[in-house]
Chains A and B, each alone.
Chain A
Amino acid sequence: MLLAALAAVGFWAWRTLYPNPERIIKKRLAEMAQTASFSSNQGLAAQAWAASSLAEYFALDVEITLNVPGAQRTFSGRDEVMQVAVTARRICRSLSIRFPDIKVTLSPDKTSAEVSVTGEADVTYASGGKEFHLQELRLRLIKVEREWLIKQVETVKTLS
């Protein structure tokens, strides 16, 4: 009994101290979704801090390709992505982003990963209008100095 308990504690400690890359990536994307979300009662300082900390999730040369009705364009580089985040905060009163499904496929050398994500967003515009969006995304992440950074994002059309 004692041995089993020790083994369970050891397993838990090992998983906590050395989480596998898949778990790290899922956790990091969930954190990013939380950082990208905002509500109307967020102060200016909190907004500025959130917008700048969002940058930490992306590689310097990140490329985001949107191909959805009403928006076909590509954003290149971390600065442009930050600009989009700031603009979103200006035109939206609140934004809630969630990733209910994340599927990670690691490269053999475990330095990059292809990730399929189901993204959903509740948007309240400054005008008061509300929208719900569901979008599949394909992400490529790279490992840079023990950090997983988003290198590429593209929208996926489930029904072709």
Chain B
Amino acid sequence: MATSIEEGPEPGWAQRVLIGRNPKRTLVRMVLLVIVSLILFRYVLLPVRVDGASMLPTYKENGVNLVNRLAYLFHEPQRGDVVAVRLLAGAHRMYLKRIVGLPGDTVAFRRGQLLINGLPLAEPYVKFPCDWNQNPVQVGPDQYYLVGDNRDNPWEGHEQGRAPRALILGKVLL
């Protein structure tokens, strides 16, 4: 007994290039790709564009980067990590800063030198030094002290200080 499979006409090359041999399968793949991309770039790797000069020269203005939102799933942020900090109203705008003070630390600046618990901290990433003077500040039990790498501006004009752990969205990937 013989069986025969009836096949439709072979799709043209333009159709094969644009929607593939099997349009239904292509549609399913597209939907899956969109769903995976949405989840990936919303909940795992957040795309960000750097605006401002506070992290120079480590991160240049208008550079694009990714924030790993799962970086602190199994451990807490470390000193030296560059993190994205969300604002209170939402996460469409974030601060990109480096963690220099951990919970319980005291942070101070003396003639531009960063002091952690009274001891100077080596900061090889700082290429534009400053002459900041700041009395010791105690970092709370659920806080981190953040500062930008570019210290080449007045103390008042540089957004820095303590941020609650809950506002730290993740670690900058690249």
A116 proximity list for chain B (CB < 8 A):
88-89
Q: Which of B83-124 contact A (CB under 8 A)?
A: 85, 87-93, 95, 97
CB-contact partner of B88 in A100, A134, A158, under 8 A? A158
Check A103–B85 contact: CB distance below 8 A. Answer: no
Check A69–B156 contact: CB distance below 8 A. Answer: yes
Separation of A134 and B93 alpha carbons in the complex (Å)? 9
Q: How many A-B contacts at CB < 8 Å in the complex?
A: 56
Check A70–B156 contact: CB distance below 8 A. Answer: yes
Q: Does B63 contact A (CB under 8 A)?
A: no
Check A136–B89 contact: CB distance below 8 A. Answer: yes
CB-contact partner of B89 in A101, A132, A160, under 8 A? A101
B93 proximity list for chain A (CB < 8 A):
100-101, 118, 120, 134
CB-contact partner of A158 in B90, B91, B92, B95, under 8 A? B95
* Residues of B bordering A, CB below 8 Å: 51-52, 85, 87-93, 95, 97, 146, 154, 156-157, 159-163, 167
* Residues of A bordering B, CB below 8 Å: 69-70, 100-103, 116-118, 120, 132, 134, 136, 156-160
